[in-house]
């Protein structure tokens, strides 16, 4: 077995098989759930040949291997006699009820939000074309576009059946089958009727289950428990087909007879409750949600409003609640625009420009984590401006008629199917107001970069967010990881960062720290900075096969290094002549432990030029 010794060493240094609760793997990592992480020898594992690094996150002890992780996974299971679990078999982390709720909601909805927004944008585009008189609702073009826009939401239970099954550890195709049964054409034709199942009355909801949210999620949760029971009692030789057979035969009828009607009543009640709170005073509701939205997002609490919005769309055909948060990104953008106009700091200006561009499209993380939050006052001002936008949206009673895009791409989703109304104009006014109010508030506020960012070490300890700058270890042209022809790097599985196409064969230290890993082939090295960032510099693609040829080390593993110190020399021309690319990824392998990793916007870098900013 090719990886037998590596597997034995890994198992030994995670505390032995008796310390392993479960083991799964993703694209590049072995993901252990350990009984006691204190028994693991992390430093030994990090320095082990065949191991890139170790990451501890989300209750998992992750040993990063690379793109041959399936083979190592199989070897560890073989030598340890472990039951090699899939992702769905992992033991659950202990969470408080709020964290558990957020975890479930994000796990169920996050995988489909991108497609849901995309289809909503297409539906919104259709509404714009009809409002502009370009299309009529009877045109075939309109119908085709509407099919794209409605396809996901009309068959929502199938998609949620898949994602909920993954979250609740049910066979995902069984989950899809439950959802498909709920939107089966003959079943939808029973909408509003009382039918029977072997003489047992079944009350169908008046609007069918096509766009519902709560019934399918609850059904999949019950199905996960039923499947688990049948797995215990059905013999292994017939589990493949008898477990889903028995699960579906129990869950689908129970869904129609009990789960569906009860959850439909709950869904309607939830819709009525949220509308009652909102209608008590839409302006105040908007001020509150808009003002605190960015705080909600930072702590993941915004996920609590996502299912409410989707439920409102399904039950009443529109949602006014999530609408109050749509223009928040423009408030944040207005503040950053004022900072750009005021600051004389070139580095800060370079951060502001891309943050403003992304802000117009609804992506505010670069602005929040890179600019306003570290300076506190700008972030507070952005929350005030955001509250104003929410208040305006509430005052105009703007409503979303589909899940759509972010930023300016959100506008089509707020066009009433019956035509443009005051709610749409209110949304436009709120977006403009967000920029104007955010800009004015920030422009009349003193911006003292030294005082606000707290550059001294003592003041850094007091700041809400700290940053660590990683400089370029190589002179050359910056390319994105997506352009690297190696899935382990391009997928981001090994961490966030960039790649550099070098113009000379020298690698320098990008920060002060310790050279924790130096591969025997000298093609890759790992550095742990004094602040804990773990950096991987991987010279070239597949250059491990050169076995150190054309590489010369100037340091040894375990050395303390200083920023700008020469670490490795390599013969660029000889390596490329041998048929290998010298594109060099520079990654933060423990980037999942940080708020963000911000890449330079420069296309060419010199040694010691700013390359990555780690937001701690």
By the 8 A CB rule, do 541 and 580 touch?
Answer: yes
By the 8 A CB rule, do 56 and 37 touch?
Answer: yes
What are the DSSP calls for 45-64, one per residue?
HHTSTT--EEEEETTEEEEE
Unique residue bearing structure tokens 């040829």: 549
Give Cβ neighbours of residue 91 (< 8 Å, ≥ 6 apart): 21, 22, 33
By the 8 A CB rule, do 471 and 611 touch?
Answer: yes
By the 8 A CB rule, do 359 and 407 touch?
Answer: yes
Catalytic residue among 26, 117, 151, 329, which?
Answer: 26
3-class secondary-structure state, position 319: strand
By the 8 A CB rule, do 109 and 307 touch?
Answer: yes
- Overall residue count recorded for the chain in this entry: 616
Which DSSP category does 92 fall into? P
How far, CA to CA in Å, does 274 sit from each of 175, 192, 218, 277, 402?
Answer: 29, 24, 20, 5, 17
What are the DSSP E strand ranges found in 154-208? Answer: 194-197, 200-203
Residue 608 class from Cβ within 10 Å (0-12 exposed, 13-18 middle, 19+ buried)?
Answer: middle
149 φ/ψ angles, rounded to the nearest 5 degrees: -70, -30
Q: Is 26 a catalytic residue?
A: yes
Which DSSP category does 400 fall into? B
Strands 194-197 and 200-203, by their bridges, are: antiparallel
How far, in Å, CA of 497 to CA of 556, rounded?
24
Nearest to 358 by CA among 339, 336, 379: 336
How far, in Å, CA of 254 to CA of 256, rounded?
5
How many CB atoms neighbour CB 352 within 10 A?
24
Nearest to 599 by CA among 453, 472, 450: 472
Positions marked active-site: 26
């Amino acid at each position: 077995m090719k990886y037998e010794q590596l597997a034995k060493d890994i198992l030994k240094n995670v505390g032995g098989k008796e310390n392993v609760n479960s083991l799964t793997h993703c694209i590049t990592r072995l993901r252990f759930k350990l009984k006691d992480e204190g028994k693991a020898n992390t430093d030994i594992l990090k320095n082990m040949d065949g191991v890139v690094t170790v990451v501890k996150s989300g209750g998992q002890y992750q040993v990063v291997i690379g793109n041959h992780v399936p083979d190592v996974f199989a070897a560890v299971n073989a030598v340890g006699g472990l039951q090699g679990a899939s992702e769905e078999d992992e033991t659950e982390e202990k969470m408080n009820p709020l964290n558990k709720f957020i975890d479930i909601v994000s796990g169920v909805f996050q995988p489909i939000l991108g497609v849901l927004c995309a289809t909503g944008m297409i539906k919104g585009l259709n509404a714009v074309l009809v409002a502009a008189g370009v299309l009529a609702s009877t045109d075939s073009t309109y119908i085709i576009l509407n099919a794209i826009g409605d396809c996901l939401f009309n068959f929502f239970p199938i998609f949620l059946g898949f994602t909920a099954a993954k979250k609740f550890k049910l066979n995902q195709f069984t989950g899809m089958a439950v959802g498909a049964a709920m939107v089966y054409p003959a079943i939808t034709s029973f909408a509003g009727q009382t039918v029977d199942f072997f003489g047992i009355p079944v009350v169908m909801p008046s609007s069918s289950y096509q766009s519902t949210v709560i019934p399918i999620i609850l059904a999949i949760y019950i199905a996960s428990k039923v499947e688990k029971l049948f797995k215990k009692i059905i013999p292994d030789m017939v589990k493949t087909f008898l477990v889903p057979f028995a699960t579906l035969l129990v869950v689908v009828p129970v869904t129609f007879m009990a789960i569906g009607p009860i959850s439909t009543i709950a869904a309607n009640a939830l819709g009525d409750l949220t509308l009652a709170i909102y209608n008590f005073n839409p302006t105040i509701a908007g001020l509150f949600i808009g003002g605190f939205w960015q705080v909600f997002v930072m702590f993941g609490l915004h996920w609590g409003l996502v299912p409410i919005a989707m439920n409102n769309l399904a039950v009443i055909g529109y949602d006014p609640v999530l609408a109050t948060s749509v223009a928040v990104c423009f408030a944040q953008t207005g503040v950053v625009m004022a900072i750009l106009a005021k600051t004389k700091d070139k580095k800060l200006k370079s951060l502001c420009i891309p943050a403003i561009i992304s802000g117009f499209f609804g992506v505010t993380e670069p602005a929040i984590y890179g600019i306003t939050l570290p300076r506190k006052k700008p972030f507070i001002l952005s929350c005030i401006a955001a509250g104003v936008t929410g208040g305006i949206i509430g005052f105009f009673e703007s409503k979303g008629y589909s899940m759509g895009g972010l930023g300016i791409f959100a506008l089509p989703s707020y066009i009433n199917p019956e035509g443009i109304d005051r709610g749409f104009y209110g949304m436009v006014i709120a977006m403009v107001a967000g920029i104007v109010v955010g800009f004015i508030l920030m422009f009349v506020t003193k911006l003292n970069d030294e005082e606000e960012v707290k550059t001294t070490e003592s003041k850094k300890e007091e700041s809400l967010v700290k940053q660590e700058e990683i400089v370029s270890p190589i002179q050359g042209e910056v390319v994105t990881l997506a352009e690297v022809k190696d899935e382990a790097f391009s997928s981001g599985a090994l961490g966030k960062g960039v790649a550099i196409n070098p113009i000379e064969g020298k690698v320098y230290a990008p920060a002060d720290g310790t050279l924790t890993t130096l591969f025997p082939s000298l093609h890759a090295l790992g550095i742990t900075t004094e602040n804990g960032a773990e950096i991987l510099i991987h010279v070239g693609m597949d250059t491990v096969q050169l076995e150190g040829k054309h590489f010369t080390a100037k340091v040894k593993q375990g050395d303390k290094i200083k920023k700008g110190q020469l670490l490795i020399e390599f013969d660029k021309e000889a390596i490329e002549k041998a048929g290998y690319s010298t594109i060099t990824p520079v990654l933060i392998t423990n980037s999942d432990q940080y708020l963000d990793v911000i890449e330079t916007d420069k296309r060419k870098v010199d040694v010691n030029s700013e390359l990555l900013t780690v937001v701690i």
